[in-house]
Structure 1
Amino acid sequence: MNIYLSMILAAALAVFGGASAMSETNQPQHSQGQTAGSYQLVQPPYSEALQPVYKQVREAGGYQVVHADEQTYVVIGLGQRPTGGYSLQVDKVEQSADGTWQVYVHESKPAPGSMTTQVLTYPTVVVSLQKADAQAKVVFTS
């Protein structure tokens, strides 16, 4: 195949393949799988109760606690990022002595000079606590 045609096809795949990243979540990586203790990382599709909160947190960043479906959900987002390669990592989830759950997260950034998709991304994660009326807060670490 002609080298120029190969380059054009590769560029088209990068553009069209990366376009879907705007609507997808950068899912966190967790060394212990998707569950640990009494929390779980929730994958899309989200319930109707979570969708408006997810959309708001995804775009604006920050976090919100939602009590729905007999569980407590913590929706955490970083807001808009300029390229691919950003993600939100859940480090640990623990319950303090007063019963409040603390979700420790940090932003993972692409290495300087690394190749990334040139598309806006919105790193977001949803954590489910197995208690319907849990109180939770998020601690952003570095």
Structure 2
Amino acid sequence: MVSKKILVLCSMMLMLIWGLIGCSSSQKAESDMKHSQQNEEVPTPKKGFQLISEQEPLSGDVQAWIESAKMTEGVHTLVSGGVRYVLLSLGERPNAGYRIEVVEIEEAPNYSTVFVREKKPDPNMFYPQVISYPYVLGTSEKEVRMEILEK
């Protein structure tokens, strides 16, 4: 009689443990499915405009593109080596004293707006009278718009 009670008790404990293991694994599978669905629904945001240092080495085709594109004011893009380069240019200026300064970058879901200011030469300085083409270079996975601010 005692052995029958022990056998029934052990059977009930095994069924309880089995039930708990089954429930937790089905809950985990359900949780994993919800997590993967959430990851599929949320696309990775595209990276906005990021400046490139003047010391960063660039390929020959990117350098050639810069030399050509910087002559015209505006936003210019080139995809090279899987990277989308963006050049913001002021076009031709009469001397090397002119600069372009990034003041602010505003990110929207599909584009970046880069606010720049033209820095004019210091009137108390002497600059070589050579034509210059002020620009800044960056990368962006989004469309880039340039807004030139007045002083």
State whether structure 2 residue 146 is matched by structure 1 residue 138.
yes
What residue in structure 2 maps to residue 120 of structure 1? 131
What residue in structure 2 maps to residue 39 of structure 1? 50
Higher strand residue share: 1
**Alpha carbon RMSD of aligned pairs, Å?**
2.4
Query: Structure 2: how far apart are the matches of 1:82 and 1:74?
Result: 24
Percent sequence identity is: 25
Instruction: Please tell me whether the aligned partners of residues 51 and 136 of structure 2 are also in contact (alpha carbons under 8 angstroms).
Output: no
Secondary structure in structure 1 of the residue aligned to 2:68: helix
State whether structure 2 residue 73 is matched by structure 1 residue 65.
no
- TM-score, L = length of structure 1: 0.59
Equivalent AA in structure 2 for residue 99 of structure 1: N
Cα distance change, pair 78–141 in 1 and its aligned pair in 2 (3 A): same
Gaps of 5+ in 1: 1-36
Secondary structure in structure 2 of the residue aligned to 1:53: helix
Matched pairs, number: 102
Equivalent AA in structure 1 for residue 148 of structure 2: F
- TM-score, L = length of structure 2: 0.56
What residue in structure 2 maps to residue 86 of structure 1? 98
Secondary structure in structure 2 of the residue aligned to 1:54: helix
**Cα deviation 1:67-101 (Å, max 9, x = unaligned):** 333332211212221112111111122211x3211
Q: CA deviation at 1:53?
A: 3.1
Instruction: Please tell me whether the aligned partners of residues 42 and 128 of structure 1 are also in contact (alpha carbons under 8 angstroms).
Output: no
State whether structure 2 residue 108 is matched by structure 1 residue 100.
no
Instruction: Please tell me whether the aligned partners of residues 80 and 123 of structure 1 are also in contact (alpha carbons under 8 angstroms).
Output: yes
* Structure index of larger Rg: 2
Cα distance change, pair 45–70 in 1 and its aligned pair in 2 (3 A): same
Equivalent AA in structure 2 for residue 135 of structure 1: E
Query: Structure 1: how far apart are the matches of 2:63 and 2:103?
Result: 24
Instruction: Please tell me whether the aligned partners of residues 75 and 144 of structure 2 are also in contact (alpha carbons under 8 angstroms).
Output: no
